[in-house]
Chains A and B, each alone.
Chain A
Amino acid sequence: KAGVTQTPRYLIKTRGQQVTLSCSPISGHRSVSWYQQTPGQGLQFLFEYFSETQRNKGNFPGRFSGRQFSNSRSEMNVSTLELGDSALYLCASSSADGTGRDTQYFGPGTRLTVL
């Protein structure tokens, strides 16, 4: 099976712009989660989508949003970019057996730089 893919891998934006990142989960996986990774804050949970519905949400401002399509592919959007949004954005997919113990498989991430 192909792994989790994320596009683009690198992105440079300026403050105030918006950005959309894409994630294709492993075939058959219905849950997609997004995480932000920074040197200062580490890995932080953004949100999780399951069957096109947001099931969990982390403690991020409303500028961060996402969606999931019927084929389980997911996008996350960040509006009005700030310098502090520079980070590696990771997508993870899982089969979501409902126990919270299913393995999450991470993609390589999208490196976002905000200038």
Chain B
Amino acid sequence: QQQVKQSPQSLIVQKGGISIINCAYENTAFDYFPWYQQFPGKGPALLIAIRPDVSEKKEGRFTISFNKSAKQFSLHIMDSQPGDSATYFCAASSPSGSRLTFGEGTQLTVNP
């Protein structure tokens, strides 16, 4: 019930392309869904987050799409750049505390 499933494990796109990472959750108590970006040797950094009362949130080139009935959410990176090459984690938390449950991570490579 606490799991968050993330796919794909790795993704290679060309510069200017669209990167899409998908996540699915089981626990209906989750009500906050952040995405984190992690570069080698660094800790994860918040990229964008969404709450289940909206179906989409956009910040610059990054968009989260959220499907509450399917218990799925996804990250779209438009106009992908080599500097976007990193590991991306989806996560979820419930109102009971600050505990984040993370997906397995997606290693994104954007070729120039």
Q: Tell me the A residues contacting B by CB distance below 8 Å.
A: 4, 31, 33, 35, 42-45, 48, 50, 55-56, 58, 90, 92, 94, 96, 99-109
Pair A99/B95 contact, Cβ less than 8 Å: yes
Summarize B's interface: helix, strand, loop or mixed. Answer: loop
B62 at the interface (CB under 8 A from A): no
Q: Is B26 in contact with chain A by the CB < 8 A criterion?
A: no
Count residues of B near A (Cβ-Cβ below 8 Å). 26
With a cutoff of 8 Å between Cβ atoms, the chain B residues found around residue A104 in the complex are 34, 46, 98, 100
Nearest chain A residue, comparing its CB with the CB of B103? A42
User: Is the Cβ of B99 less than 8 Å from the Cβ of A43?
Assistant: no
B 93-111 to A, binary, CB cutoff 8 A, 1 in contact else 0: 1111111111111000000
User: Quick check: B89 and A96 within 8 Å, CB to CB?
Assistant: no
Cα A56 to Cα B83 in complex, Å, equals: 35
Contact A90 B99 (CB under 8 A): no
Does any Cβ of A come within 8 Å of B16's Cβ?
Answer: no
The reply to whether the CB of B112 lies closer than 8 angstroms to some CB of chain A is no
Contacts of B32 in A (CB 8 A): 99-101
Q: How far is the CA of A102 from the CA of B99 in the complex (A)?
A: 11
Contact across chains for B43 and A100 when beta carbons are under 8 A apart: no
Give the chain A neighbours of B102 by CB distance below 8 A.
35, 42-44
Q: Are A108 and B99 in contact (CB under 8 A)?
A: no
Q: Which residue of A lies closest to B96 (CB)?
A: A100
Measured CA separation A55–B98 after assembly (Å): 9
Distance in angstroms from B23 CB to nearest chain A CB is 13
